[in-house]
Chains A and B, each alone.
Chain A
Amino acid sequence: MREIHSNEIVDCLEKLFIDANINLSQSVLECFERSIEKEESPAGKEVFRELIKNALTAKEENMPICQDTGLAVTFIEIGQDVHIAGGNLIDAVNEGVRRAYSKGYLRKSCCHPFTRKNTGDNTPAILHTRIVPGNKVKITVLPKGGGSENYGEVRMLTPSQGWEGVKAFVLEMVNKGGPNPCPPIIVGVGIGGNFETSALLSKEALMEPLGKRNDDSAIGALEIELLEAINKTGIGPQGYGGTITALDVHIKMMPCHIASLPVAVNIQCHAHRIKEAIL
């Protein structure tokens, strides 16, 4: 049994959330650079130039890429041979979030659903844990803004609707969002499982590297089919019209009930902030 002190988790969360919010990943930046060439609309090209300038400014000024530094979405895979000592995991995660959002001058965007009173420190984190084999702890953070999250939905399709039903649903959501979720977007599609699993799959789909296709080549082909269909909508960068509405589409799928076809769509804005660490 390997022991990991809860303070290590606090420190790790603090660093990851500050880093994710300030330093856009190289892979996203490179995707913007390629997109300037690929995008056909002059306004769309200009948006990509602004996004590159923005990412570089954020790094130079040590300032968040976007003022909406999101809810603190955190995924932790805990090896079953690890013992967390010195305090409980949930408190450690929330303390890491609290420190990151205070020390990093990040916006606290978490509030009571009805009174709208801010919790003041961006806690509680949205924490997903999973027990996995091994003696390591893998932490992935995905600060997620409200603008893009508002255009997600879970829908229980009927099995007869099949792939065409899934495709129509995804396109409906992209068109409904239009310029609002800050395109160019990344689309996560969760198919199968049950009601809540499909939603989680759609979020996990957003964590796949840009440009990576599903290991199942048939699903990979559907990702490309969806991406092409989304980029024909004409919405374009920021909705100003153009040929790049989405940077990528990822599908995660698992078996479902014989009576069901659960589908979830989760939309990510271009400020695709994700960082991970292994303890």
Chain B
Amino acid sequence: MELKRIKTPLDEKTIRELKAGEKVFLSGYIYTARDAAHKRFIDTINEGKELPIDIKNQVIYYCGPSPAPPGKPIGSCGPTTSSRMDAYAPKLLSLGLKGMIGKGKRSQAVKDAIKQYQGVYFGATGGAGALLSKAVISSTIIAYEELGPEAVVRLEVKDMPLFVINDIYGNDLYEMGMLQYKR
């Protein structure tokens, strides 16, 4: 497959050039956040307070890694199912979040928000947590340490293998792929 390398923070040009179905390698900083962290993000926004990270042009990874063994920056770190974050994603996109990494289908509301706010949804291979850990160079806990595997962690990644699932043009790899191979 053709290989494409992209970097965070994601700029508009990069986003415009991403098409559903492409495999990309992502480098730079990304932030882990899953169920509990998202709930806290939205509560914080509703209280009119500042988020623990500036999400503008950033990428959130729906991931709760296994504990880091001694000498390693992180444990196994594959994606979790994204649909549980659907209730929160449009709000974060409206505030400047550009990318989301996870696995599985998104709601129509999230797909609409991706178009409206010019974002992108990437799929990482679910269950390939050991392989994905090799793309992580360093990790730093940024917020909510008490949530354990659900804490917000900044990951420095190099050539993290991803597929573009939903692009700004309204394409959806899950729908396209299924249609193509349905017998």
Contacts and interface: CB of A to CB of B under 8 A. Distances in A.
Interface residues on A, range: 35 or more
Interface in B29-88: 36, 63-69, 72, 75-78, 80-81, 83
Nearest to B125: A50
B183 A238 contact: no
A262 to B, nearest CB: 27
A54 interface: yes
B1 A54 contact: no
Contacts of A240: 21, 123, 163, 173-174, 177
B177 A68 contact: no
A182 B126 contact: yes
A42 interface: yes
B146 to A, nearest CB: 10
Interface string B94-131: 00000000011100000000000000000101111111
B76 A67 contact: yes
A64 B104 contact: no
Contacts of A109: 149
A178 B126 CA distance: 13
A210 interface: no
B181 A236 contact: yes
Interface string A47-71: 1001101110110011111111100
Contact of A180 (B81, B134, B178): B81
Interface stretch (A90-98, A212-220, A227-235): A227-235
B182 interface: yes
Contacts of B67: 105-107
B154 interface: no
A180 to B, nearest CB: 4
A50 B69 contact: no
B1 A42 contact: yes
A41 interface: yes
B128 A107 contact: no
B137 interface: no
Contacts of A269: 126-127
Nearest to A269: B127
A150 B104 CA distance: 13
A67 B103 contact: no
Contacts of B83: 180
B39 to A, nearest CB: 10
B23 A41 contact: no
Nearest to A237: B125
A40 interface: yes
Contacts of B72: 61, 63
Contacts of B80: 68, 147
A36 interface: no
A242 interface: yes
Interface string A98-128: 0000000111110000001010000000000
B67 to A, nearest CB: 5
A271 B127 contact: yes
Contacts of A242: 177, 181
A241 B177 contact: yes
Given A58-B130, A239-B174, 17 more contacts: A43-B23, A46-B1, A65-B130, A66-B130, A67-B76, A67-B129, A68-B78, A106-B66, A107-B66, A116-B36, A147-B80, A147-B104, A179-B103, A234-B183, A236-B178, A238-B126, A240-B163
Interface of B: 1, 21, 23, 36, 63-69, 72, 75-78, 80-81, 83, 103-105, 123, 125-134, 148-149, 161, 163, 173-174, 176-183
11 contacts: A41-B180, A50-B125, A64-B76, A65-B76, A105-B66, A180-B83, A182-B103, A234-B178, A234-B180, A239-B105, A240-B163
